[in-house]
């Protein structure tokens, strides 16, 4: 540890804590939980911003009695010691007085004279978090032992300075949280703004001034023969006035989507669909996920068709509008290259004299949620080619369509730049939080008071109080008639080939929970490890397997 500020002292967590320990999961696991009772705090409840109620489990009085050694007091530091959330830390609020913790959460009860909030903030600061997640520390085995926690070094200021630091951090954290809340709200506002722009685009208000400046605008007018209407499965390619969803400008027409260009489903005739012979060639194969993740412009693909794959499909041209009709309903994207897609995607190729793929793509975005309202002749809720064929598009003259697309993209460009700036600011806020914590524990956040009692005197008092504390009386053990469990080392000869979970190991090995963990850690991290961890994908659990000699 680098040179400490005046009045500070270096200490171990074990010196400051009157209790360090974790609990267990009641026998029966999640099936043993009750709808109400005594809260059981698990790692999913422990977050840097506090204890969250989401997913809170409860145990009955009998189960709680068996976990008396893992009883929470208000003001305890709670630290996640296993798994992906290792290192998350907070202080237990008073409302969780009497709760229990399971084996994934460690209670650190700070002795009188030290601030629990200070200890928690210290453990949450960048350097301790880096150490906890270091490949040679907690993350190697995704667990922190009691011994590791006891030996963790902390830079300890005088008590009054601890309190000043905590108050300052609270103030700055509140400001940071408010900033983060406002920045997160920007995303919602951006979506609302885009919806508003699209709504204005397709009711005519976005281009009202453009129309007013045109003296010779002509509506998109064309006729279709009975045979053409039959081929398109339409009774009329224009929507009558009484059926229009809303009023549009005089030069606009409600025109059926199939009458504005080619509308057809993709093809993937061969079965099974996952036949390896279909894939691995030069032809991009677009699927519903590629469309929904495209943001309206498909520039990437995750799979390709071979010549055989192409032979049972169709190669659509660059600029084709893709519309999903399965999984992600009515998601849209315009092909940035030639490609194939299956029948879960509908393709639209615009007749350039009537419309453009860009104009139609923005319209589908506008009505995606309420698509059936724009398809008056379609009764069913499920979207299919028939649904899209029955959609009528509010269609301005082609030159006005181009102007509408230009204005949409200009408006979206501005708002997307704002979103980018908000995202940068959000990341900056995170870095600022880290910087504030680093300054706090370097003694640079609050002024130091030369009248404060040095931390060394505080540590001396804690040590003296601990030395003079009465030793707890040990209750005589009742003679045990059950067969003694073997030690962990003695289990090695008969270790099952499929391995075992930690809970199964605890059921077979003698010793307390922490003792078994320590012994297991030694077997996993010695020069020639005897045990390794392996994730069982079938059971979705970690298994401990013996390393072959």
Taking alpha carbons only, the member of 366, 296, 388 closest to residue 334 is 296
Measured over the CA atoms of residue 536, residue 539, residue 543 and residue 549, the dihedral's sign is negative
Same domain assignment for residues 508 and 464:
no
Whether the CB-CB separation of 104 and 138 falls below 8 Å is answered with no
| 441 assigned to some structural domain | no
Same domain assignment for residues 77 and 22:
yes
| 2 assigned to some structural domain | no
Look at residue 399 in the predicted model and tell me its pLDDT: 95
Taking alpha carbons only, the member of 252, 183, 201 closest to residue 412 is 201
Q: Which helix (H) or strand (E) holds 544?
A: strand 541-546
Same domain assignment for residues 376 and 501:
no
Contacts of 395 (CB under 8 A, 6+ apart): 220, 252, 253, 254, 255, 260, 354, 355, 401
Question: The domain containing residue 349 runs over which residues?
Answer: 218-396
| 208 assigned to some structural domain | no
Same domain assignment for residues 460 and 496:
no
Helix (H, G, I), strand (E, B) or coil at 236: coil
Same domain assignment for residues 460 and 511:
no
Same domain assignment for residues 237 and 273:
yes
Query: In Å, how far from its chain's centre is CA 76?
Result: 28
Q: Of 396, 417, 433, at which residue does a domain stop?
A: 396
Same domain assignment for residues 236 and 377:
yes
Look at residue 139 in the predicted model and tell me its pLDDT: 47
CATH for 109: 3.90.220.20
| 95 assigned to some structural domain | yes
| 306 assigned to some structural domain | yes
| 508 assigned to some structural domain | yes
Assigned token pair, 530:
């005897």
| 64 assigned to some structural domain | yes
What are the distances in angstroms from CA 303 to CA 286, 300, 309, 522? 7, 10, 11, 46
Same domain assignment for residues 117 and 235:
no
Look at residue 258 in the predicted model and tell me its pLDDT: 96
Assigned token pair, 423:
């995202």
Same domain assignment for residues 540 and 460:
no
Instruction: Output the pTM of the full model.
Output: 0.63
Q: Which helix (H) or strand (E) holds 104?
A: none
Query: In Å, how far from its chain's centre is CA 148?
Result: 29
Question: How many whole angstroms separate alpha carbon 186 and alpha carbon 547?
Answer: 53
Q: CA angle 385-389-394, nearest 5°?
A: 135
Number of domains, the chain: 3
Same domain assignment for residues 116 and 16:
yes
Whether the CB-CB separation of 106 and 150 falls below 8 Å is answered with no
Whether the CB-CB separation of 333 and 322 falls below 8 Å is answered with yes
Question: How many whole angstroms separate alpha carbon 465 and alpha carbon 142?
Answer: 35
> Across the 549 residues of the chain, what is the mean pLDDT of every consecutive 10-residue run?
83 92 84 90 95 93 91 95 91 95 94 89 89 62 82 91 92 88 88 94 96 87 92 90 89 96 95 94 96 94 96 98 87 97 96 96 89 54 80 95 98 94 89 87 88 89 81 57 58 79 72 68 71 70 77
Look at residue 486 in the predicted model and tell me its pLDDT: 60
| 314 assigned to some structural domain | yes
Same domain assignment for residues 42 and 107:
yes
Whether the CB-CB separation of 383 and 329 falls below 8 Å is answered with yes
Same domain assignment for residues 370 and 510:
no
Dihedral Cα 76, 82, 86, 88, nearest 10 deg: -20
Look at residue 112 in the predicted model and tell me its pLDDT: 80
């Amino acid at each position: 540890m680098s040179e400490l500020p005046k009045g500070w002292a270096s200490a171990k967590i074990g010196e400051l804590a009157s209790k360090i320990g974790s609990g267990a999961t009641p026998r029966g696991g999640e099936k043993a939980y009750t709808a109400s009772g005594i809260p059981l705090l698990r790692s999913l409840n422990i977050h840097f911003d506090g204890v969250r109620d989401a997913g809170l489990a409860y145990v009955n009085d009998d189960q709680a009695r068996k976990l008396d050694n893992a009883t929470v007091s208000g003001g305890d530091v709670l630290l996640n010691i296993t798994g992906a959330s290792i290192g998350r830390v907070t202080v237990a609020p008073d409302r969780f007085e009497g709760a229990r913790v399971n084996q994934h959460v460690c209670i650190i009860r700070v002795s009188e004279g030290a601030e629990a909030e200070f200890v928690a903030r210290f453990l949450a600061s960048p350097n301790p978090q880096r150490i906890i997640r270091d490949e040679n520390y907690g993350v190697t085995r995704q667990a922190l032992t009691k011994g590791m926690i006891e030996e963790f070094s902390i830079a300890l200021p005088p008590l009054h300075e601890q309190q000043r630091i905590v108050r300052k951090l609270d103030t700055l954290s509140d400001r940071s949280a408010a900033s983060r809340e406002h920045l997160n709200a920007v995303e919602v506002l951006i979506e609302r703004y885009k919806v508003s722009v699209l709504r204005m685009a397709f009711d005519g208000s976005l281009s009202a001034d453009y129309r007013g400046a045109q003296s010779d605008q002509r509506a998109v007018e064309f006729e279709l023969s009975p045979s053409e209407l039959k081929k398109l499965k339409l009774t009329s390619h224009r929507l009558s006035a009484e059926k229009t969803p809303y009023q549009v400008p005089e030069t606009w027409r409600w025109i059926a989507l199939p009458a504005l260009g080619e509308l057809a489903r993709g093809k993937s005739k061969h079965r099974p669909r996952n036949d390896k012979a279909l894939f691995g060639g030069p032809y991009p194969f677009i699927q519903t996920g590629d469309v929904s993740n495209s943001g309206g412009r498909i520039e990437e693909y995750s799979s390709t068709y071979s010549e055989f794959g192409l032979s049972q499909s169709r190669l659509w041209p660059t600029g084709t509008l893709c519309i999903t009709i399965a999984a992600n309903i009515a998601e849209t994207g315009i092909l940035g290259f030639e490609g194939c897609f299956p029948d879960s995607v509908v393709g639209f190729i615009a007749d350039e004299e009537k419309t453009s793929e860009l104009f139609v793509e923005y319209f589908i975005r506008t009505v995606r949620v309420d698509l059936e309202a724009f398809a008056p002749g379609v009764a069913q809720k499920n979207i299919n080619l028939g649904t899209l064929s029955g959609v009528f598009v509010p269609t301005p003259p082609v030159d006005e369509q181009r102007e509408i697309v230009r204005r949409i993209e200009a408006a979206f460009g501005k708002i997307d730049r704002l979103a980018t700036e908000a995202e940068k600011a959000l990341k900056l806020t995170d870095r600022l939080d880290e910087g504030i914590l680093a300054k706090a524990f370097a003694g640079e956040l609050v002024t130091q008071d030369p009248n404060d009692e040095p931390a060394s005197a505080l540590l001396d008092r804690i040590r003296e109080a601990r030395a003079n504390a009465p030793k707890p009386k040990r209750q005589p053990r009742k003679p045990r008639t059950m067969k003694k469990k073997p030690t962990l080392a003695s289990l090695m000869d008969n270790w099952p080939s499929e391995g075992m979970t930690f809970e199964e190991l605890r059921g077979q090995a003698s010793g307390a929970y922490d003792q078994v963990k320590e012994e297991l850690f030694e077997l996993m991290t010695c020069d020639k490890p005897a045990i390794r961890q392996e994730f069982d994908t079938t059971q979705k659990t970690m298994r401990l397997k013996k390393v072959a000699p």
